[in-house]
Structure 1
Amino acid sequence: MAGTHGDSTRSVKAVASQDVPGAAVAAPPVFASAYHLAADEDDTLDSYGRRSNPTWRQLESALAQLEGAAAALSFASGMAALTAALRVLAQPGHTLVVPADGYYQVRAYAREYLASRGVTVVEARCADMVDAAAHADVVLAETPSNPELDVVDLHRLALTCRSRGTVLVVDNTTATPFGQQPLSLGADLVVASATKALAGHSDVLAGYVAGSHPELMERVERERLHAGAILGAFEAWLVTRSLGSAGLRFDRQCQNAAAVALTLRSHPAVRSVRFPGLADDPSHEVAARQMRRFGGIVSFELADADAVHALVDRSALLVAATSFGGIHTSVDRRARWGDSVAAGFARMSMGIEDTDDLVSDLQQALGPA
C-alpha cells in the first residue's frame, strides 16, 4: 500500500471500519473486562480484558498496515512495548546491544534489569552499531537517534545480524512508519511509542510492537498477557482516532522541520544543528537512502541552558515540554534528563503551525542575526 497511496490516504484507509450497511463509519470503543463465553470453549473469542479487546484489534490492524507488518501488538506505552520485546529476546547468557546515543531510559532498563539477570549489555553509538552487532545475540537500534538524530545504516546492520542469526529490533519512534519502514530493510521487529507523532495530541500514552515472524509475535503477545502492560480501550480508541490524520500532521511537521533547520543553521547564536534532511548533515547520505521523509525533529545547541530558556520565553509559539510529535512545537533541553550533551543542547519537535509563522516566531525569539 505504501507504494500506491500517499501517507494521508494510508492513514485514513488504515483506520476505516468495515464497510457494512448500518455500521458506524467510525467504530466506537469497546469497554469490557469480561465477555460472554461460548459453550464450545473456543479460545479464539474474546474472553477477558487483559487478553484481547476489539478496539485493540482495530488499532493493531492499522499499525500493522502502516509498518508493512503482518501483525502488531499494542501496549500501555512505548517503554512497555520495548521492554516486553527485550524480555522475550534477551535471555541470560545473551549479548544485547543497545544505543549509547539513544533514549536514556532504554539504557537504564538494560543496565538495571537485564544485566542483573545475566544479559551482557553493550552500549554502541549509531556509528558503531554494525560492528557491535557482529558479536551480539540481540540488537536494538534507534534511528534517527533521540536526541542527537544520528542515523544507523539499517540495510548494513540487517545483513550483519542475518549473517550470524542475531535478532534485530528497530525503534521507529522518531521516523514513524511515514518516514521509514525498518521491516522492509531487514529488521525482525519494530517497536515504537505511539504517544508521539502517531497519537500526536500530547494526551495519551501508547506503544506497539510490529513484525511478520509469527513465532516472535506470539512470544511477545504471551509476555503482554502475563505482564499485563495492556492499553486501555479508551486509549486505544484515542490513538486509532488520531491515526486518521497522522499522515497529514506528519507532512506538516516534516515541512516545518526542514524550514526550522535552515533558519537555525543561519543564525549566529546557534552553535550547531542536527537534522538528517540537511545536505551537509553527517547522517544525510544514509538517511536519504533509507528514509522517505526526514522527520519532524531538529536538534541544536545554544550557548548554555539560560539561552534555551530565554528562547522559549521570548517565543509566542514554542512550548517547553518533553516528549515530541504533538501538534504544538516544543523545545526540550536534554541535559536536564541526563543525556550526555552540552548544557545548551535542545531538541525541537515540530508542531503543525503554519511554517511561515513558526519561522518568523523563531527568528524574533533568537534575536538579531
Structure 2
Amino acid sequence: MAELGDGTKCVHGGHGDPRPGDPLAPGPVFAAPYHLGDPQGDFYGRAGNPSWRALEAAIGELDGGECVLLPSGMAAISAVLRAVLHHGDRLLVPSDGYYATRQFVREELAELSLDVREIPTTGPWPEDVFDGVRLVLLETPSNPGLDVCDIAELARRAHRAGALLAVDNTTATPIGQRPLELGADIALASDTKALTGHSDVLLGHVSTADGELAQRLRRARTLSGAIPGPFETWLAHRSLGTLDLRLARQATNAAALVDALRGHPAVTGLRWPGLPDDPAHRLASAQMRRWGGVFRFELADADAVAEFVRRSALVVAATSFGGLHSTVDRRAQWGDPVAPGFVRFSAGCEDPADLVADVLAALP
C-alpha cells in the first residue's frame, strides 16, 4: 500500500484492525492489576497499559520512530536528560527556548555537575561548539521567539563529535516536522499543546529510532512511577484524529492574522515562519512540512497587552498554546528574556473573518 497521508494516519493510527461488533474507538483501560497467565502480557498498570500502547503506536508512526508516552512535556524532557546524561557531561541547550528546561537543568540536575552551554537557536554555532558534548537539545521553531535552526546540519555536526541530538518538536507537531527523518536521535514534545489540542490533557512523549534508548525510557517510567493516566491517554488518542484538520485551520487563521497585522501602527516584531519575508522562512520551508498557528508580535508594554485581552471577545490569556481557542501569552511575566509587551499568539479554530475582525478591534 502507498504511504498514507497525515490525515489518514491521525484518524486510524493505533486503532488496529476493526472487528465486527467492537466499537470504532474503544474506551480507556483502567486496570491496575491484571489476571496473570500470559508471560508477555500486562501484569500491573504501572508497567504497561493497552491505552498507552495504542497512542504510542499512532504517534510513533507520525514521528517515524518508537514512541514512549509520559505524563507531561516536562516529564518527557526530564526523562531524556536523565536517561542520557551522566556526572560531568557537557550539555547544549537553547538560551531562547522554553524557560523551564533551563530551570530544570540548573536546579534538578545540579547534582550531576553538568557543563551546560546555552546557545540561541540561530547560533552562532562555531566549529568547536560540539567538542566534548554528550547531548544537544534543540527547540525549533523556538518557544517563544519562533526562530529556526537547521536540524539536518546540526545533527551531522553533533554526530561527528560523538554527541546525540534531541529536538523539542512541540511547536511544529509530528505532522509539521519530523526531526528523526532529518537526522535527530530523539524527538520529544509536550502533547498538552497542539497534538491533543483541546486544552484538557497534560501529556508528553519521546520518540526515537534507538530501540535500546526507548526501552531504557520505559523502564525509567515504570520505576519512577511517572506514568500517564489511561483516561488522559484515551482523550489524547481521540483528539489526535483531528490534528490534521485543526492544524490546517490554525495555520489559515495565523496567516490571515499576520497579514492583517502587518503594518499596524501598534504592532512591532511580527514573526511567523510561514511569512515569506520572515528571517526563518527559507530554512523553515526546507525542513518543515506545514505551518502551525503560533506567531508573535510586540505591543507597547504590559498594560497594552492587558488592554488588548480585555477588549477582545474571542482571545483569552493562557500560558499554553495549540488549542481550539485563540490565546495570547505575555511571556515576560514568566521570566523569558523578552520585551514586556512581547505576545505569543496561538491562533485557534475560530472562523478566520471573525478572528481577524476581533483582533483588529481589540488593538489600541
TM-score over 0.5 for the pair: yes
The count of corresponding residues between Structure 1 and Structure 2 is 362
* Residue in 2 that maps onto 1:112: 107
Contact 1:328 1:351 in 2 (8 A): yes
Matched, 1:133 2:130: yes
* Residue in 1 that maps onto 2:61: 65
Matched, 1:330 2:327: yes
Matched, 1:163 2:160: yes
Question: Any idea what the Cα deviations from partners look like across 1:293-312, whole Å, max 9, x if unmatched?
Answer: 12110111010001111111
* Residue in 2 that maps onto 1:46: 42
TM-score, reference length from structure 1: 0.95
SS of the equivalent of 1:191 reads: strand
Match of 2:317 among 320, 327, 343: 320
Matched, 1:271 2:268: yes
Matched, 1:8 2:7: yes
Of Structure 1 and Structure 2, the greater helix share is in: 1
Match of 2:303 among 303, 306, 310: 306
Cα displacement (A) at 1:322: 0.7
CA distance in 2, matches of 1:326, 1:243: 12
SS of the equivalent of 2:43 reads: coil
Q: Gaps spanning 5+ residues in structure 1: where? A: none
Cα displacement (A) at 1:129: 6.8
* Residue in 2 that maps onto 1:280: 277
CA distance in 2, matches of 1:133, 1:284: 26
Question: Any idea what the Cα deviations from partners look like across 1:234-266, whole Å, max 9, x if unmatched?
Answer: 010010010011111011011111111222222
1:203 alignment partner AA? D
SS of the equivalent of 1:145 reads: coil
Cα displacement (A) at 1:15: 4.4
Contact 2:324 2:349 in 1 (8 A): yes
- Percent identity of paired positions between Structure 1 and Structure 2: 52
CA distance in 1, matches of 2:109, 2:116: 8
Question: Any idea what the Cα deviations from partners look like across 1:30-56, whole Å, max 9, x if unmatched?
Answer: 101111111x7x2x2101111000000
Cα displacement (A) at 1:22: 2.2
Contact 2:133 2:162 in 1 (8 A): no
Contact 2:296 2:345 in 1 (8 A): yes
* Residue in 2 that maps onto 1:78: 73
TM-score, reference length from structure 2: 0.96
Contact 1:180 1:293 in 2 (8 A): yes
Q: Pairwise CA RMSD of aligned residues?
A: 1.5
SS of the equivalent of 1:127 reads: coil
CA distance in 2, matches of 1:151, 1:124: 13
SS of the equivalent of 1:49 reads: coil
CA distance in 2, matches of 1:336, 1:321: 12
Matched, 1:34 2:33: yes
When residues 85 and 29 of structure 1 are mapped into structure 2, their CA distance, relative to the original with a 3 A threshold, is same
Cα displacement (A) at 1:116: 3.0
Matched, 1:99 2:84: no
Q: Gaps spanning 5+ residues in structure 2: where? A: none
Contact 1:195 1:207 in 2 (8 A): yes
CA distance in 2, matches of 1:134, 1:265: 42
Cα displacement (A) at 1:339: 0.2
SS of the equivalent of 2:122 reads: helix
Match of 2:185 among 188, 201, 226: 188
CA distance in 2, matches of 1:158, 1:197: 25
SS of the equivalent of 1:126 reads: coil
When residues 324 and 84 of structure 1 are mapped into structure 2, their CA distance, relative to the original with a 3 A threshold, is same
Contact 2:139 2:168 in 1 (8 A): yes
